[in-house]
């Protein structure tokens, strides 16, 4: 028995409307708290109100659409993007949640609320909005976070103005269910439609500042240089060697942000700032990877005569198993709607669900990413897979929601 039915055309139309906020070719640039992000949040809040949901912004910029004053199942994701983002990363989960909550409300169905978390993509921290709401990151600490573009979280969130209310209590919600694009190749290569997520990897990140000696690129003999970029290359090589015996094919580490100073072709770089981020499903292996990283940093410094300073940029995000009960509801829904075209799988990407798993039952569903591409403008998913995901998420919510 289904207590409500969704409208795929309306869902797809809303997805394409959201895509316009910060549109950049096929993708989006919609960093947390930028004008495009705020405009998108205001539009989503308006859709929530028109759906009969009570809208609420909290001090961190998280936007809720509440089904009523009583307990409800929470569905959602995030609408902020990476500096160069795809149109579906996060947005899919927010719009699918909106469509489902709207359909249930209209049908007098179960109480389903919506959340659009802020700064999942880490312009400031790590899953910042849900980290603050979950209590893992005090707001006063978050306010001190500074984006690589120089704006602090405190300055950015001031743009909420009068929108911001108080933090909502966690116990208003009976659980959290998030649909997201896989952002990897597994479902696409297998030709399957749905992933029922079993767990989310843990993540750690350091910001490394390497100080050498700025000098003339023509007159400074190679043997006398303290070249900060050489230290970065030695670090990267040492990581490859050091990780080889302790990692699995799913373990990852990335030097994703690098700034050379003064970044001029005729000057030996005297300073380099980079991030090292690593992820794994095992906390113990994250520890062992951190030992490799620490040793590699010391080796790079010794070999180049540079000084190395490390800041742990983000609070640690531990590996998270997802709720068994929610997983079985999602599996039942997937088998009903996409029989034989679904699998259980882990998440190599981080999600806001990581922050809620110790507060309430949490579950996730994936839909395929074409060619496994994400965090890039060309990120995309076949429309039929988007609609299948919506229907499986709706059915899962129908099975799980109280009342």
Residues lying near Mn ion in the complex (CB under 5 A) are found at 89-90
**Residues comprising the chain, all counted:** 403
Q: Shortest Cβ distance from residue 161 to ligand HGY (Å)?
A: 27
Q: Shortest Cβ distance from residue 374 to ligand HGY (Å)?
A: 7
Helix, strand or coil, per DSSP, at residue 341 = coil
Tokens at residue 388, please? 């299948």
Smaller CB distance to ligand HGY: residue 226 or 351? 351
Distance of CA 364 to the CA centre of its chain: 13
121 binds ligand HGY (CB under 6 A): yes
Smaller CB distance to ligand HGY: residue 180 or 234? 180
Smaller CB distance to ligand HGY: residue 83 or 138? 83
Smaller CB distance to ligand HGY: residue 327 or 354? 354
Q: Shortest Cβ distance from residue 171 to Mn ion (Å)?
A: 26
350 binds ligand HGY (CB under 6 A): yes
HEC string of 11-76? HHHHHHHHHCCCEECCEECCCCCCHHHHHHHHHHHHHHHHCCCEEEECCCCCEEEECCCCCEEEEE
114 binds ligand HGY (CB under 6 A): no
Smaller CB distance to ligand HGY: residue 82 or 327? 82
User: Following DSSP, what letter does each residue of 241-298 receive, concatenated?
Assistant: HHHTTT--TT-EEE---EEEES--TTEE--EEEEEEEEEES-HHHHHHHHHHHHHHHH
91 binds ligand HGY (CB under 6 A): no
80 binds ligand HGY (CB under 6 A): no
Site for ligand HGY in 148-177 (CB under 6 A): none
Q: Shortest Cβ distance from residue 121 to Mn ion (Å)?
A: 5
CB 212 within 8 A of CB 269: yes
- Residue 350: name its binding partner from Mn ion, ligand HGY, none (Cβ under 5 to 8 Å by kind): ligand HGY
112 binds ligand HGY (CB under 6 A): no
Smaller CB distance to ligand HGY: residue 206 or 350? 350
Q: Shortest Cβ distance from residue 79 to ligand HGY (Å)?
A: 13
- Calculate helix-pair angle for 324-337, 383-400, nearest 10 degrees: 130
Q: Shortest Cβ distance from residue 283 to ligand HGY (Å)?
A: 17
- Residue 147: name its binding partner from Mn ion, ligand HGY, none (Cβ under 5 to 8 Å by kind): none
CB 80 within 8 A of CB 120: yes
What is the Cα–Cα distance from 319 to 310, expressed in whole angstroms?
23
CB 273 within 8 A of CB 326: no
Smaller CB distance to ligand HGY: residue 83 or 262? 83
Smaller CB distance to ligand HGY: residue 120 or 380? 120
CB 119 within 8 A of CB 204: no
Q: Which of 73, 349, 392, 393 binds ligand HGY (CB under 6 A)?
A: 349
Site for ligand HGY in 19-78 (CB under 6 A): none
The residue whose two tokens read 């394409």 is 16
Q: Shortest Cβ distance from residue 219 to Mn ion (Å)?
A: 45
197 binds ligand HGY (CB under 6 A): no
274 binds ligand HGY (CB under 6 A): no
- Residue 323: name its binding partner from ligand HGY, Mn ion, none (Cβ under 5 to 8 Å by kind): none
- Residue 151: name its binding partner from ligand HGY, Mn ion, none (Cβ under 5 to 8 Å by kind): none
Q: Return all residues near 172 (Cβ < 8 A) that are at least 6 apart.
A: 66, 71, 72, 113
Helix, strand or coil, per DSSP, at residue 329 = helix
Smaller CB distance to ligand HGY: residue 130 or 327? 130
**Residues near ligand HGY (CB under 6 A), total:** 4
- Calculate helix-pair angle for 35-50, 91-106, nearest 10 degrees: 20
Counting beta carbons within 10 angstroms of the beta carbon of residue 27, is it exposed (0 to 12), middle (13 to 18) or buried (19 or more)? buried
Chain contacts with ligand HGY (rule: CB under 6 A): 120-121, 349-350
């Amino acid at each position: 028995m289904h207590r409500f039915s969704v409208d795929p055309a309306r869902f797809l139309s809303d997805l394409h409307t959201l895509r316009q906020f910060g549109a950049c070719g096929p993708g989006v640039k919609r960093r947390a708290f930028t004008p495009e992000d705020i405009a998108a949040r205001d539009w989503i809040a308006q859709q929530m109100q028109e759906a009969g949901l009570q809208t609420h912004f909290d001090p961190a910029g998280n936007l809720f659409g509440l089904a009523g004053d009583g307990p409800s199942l929470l569905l959602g994701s995030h609408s902020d993007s990476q500096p160069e983002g795809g149109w579906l990363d996060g947005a899919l989960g927010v719009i699918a949640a909106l469509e489902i909550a709207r359909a249930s409300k209209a049908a007098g169905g179960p109480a389903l609320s919506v959340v659009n978390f802020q700064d999942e993509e880490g312009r400031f921290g790590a899953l910042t909005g849900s980290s603050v709401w979950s209590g893992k990151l005090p707001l006063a600490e978050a306010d001190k976070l500074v984006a690589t573009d120089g704006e602090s979280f405190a300055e950015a969130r001031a743009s909420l103005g009068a929108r911001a209310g108080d933090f909502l209590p966690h116990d208003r919600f009976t659980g959290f269910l998030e649909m997201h694009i896989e952002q990897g190749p597994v479902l696409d290569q297998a030709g399957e439609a749905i992933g029922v997520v079993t767990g989310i990897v843990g993540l750690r990140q350091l910001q490394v500042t390497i100080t050498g000696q700025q000098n003339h690129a023509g007159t400074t003999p190679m043997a006398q240089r303290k070249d900060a970029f050489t230290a970065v290359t030695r670090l990267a090589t040492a990581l490859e060697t050091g990780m080889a015996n302790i990692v699995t094919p799913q373990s990852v580490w990335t030097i994703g942000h690098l700034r050379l100073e003064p970044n001029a072709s005729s000057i030996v770089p005297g300073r380099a700032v980079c991030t090292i981020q690593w992820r794994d499903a095992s906390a113990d292996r994250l520890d062992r990877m951190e030992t490799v990283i620490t040793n590699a940093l010391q080796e790079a410094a010794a070999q180049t005569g540079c000084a190395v300073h490390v800041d742990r940029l983000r609070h640690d995000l531990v590996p998270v198993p997802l709720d068994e009960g929610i997983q079985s509801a999602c599996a039942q829904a997937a088998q009903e709607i996409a029989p034989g075209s679904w699998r259980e799988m882990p998440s190599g990407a981080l999600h806001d669900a990581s922050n809620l798993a110790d507060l309430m039952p949490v579950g996730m569903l994936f839909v395929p990413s074409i060619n496994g591409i994400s965090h890039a403008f060309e990120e995309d998913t076949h429309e039929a897979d988007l609609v299948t995901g919506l229907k499986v998420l709706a059915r899962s919510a129908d099975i799980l929601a109280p009342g």
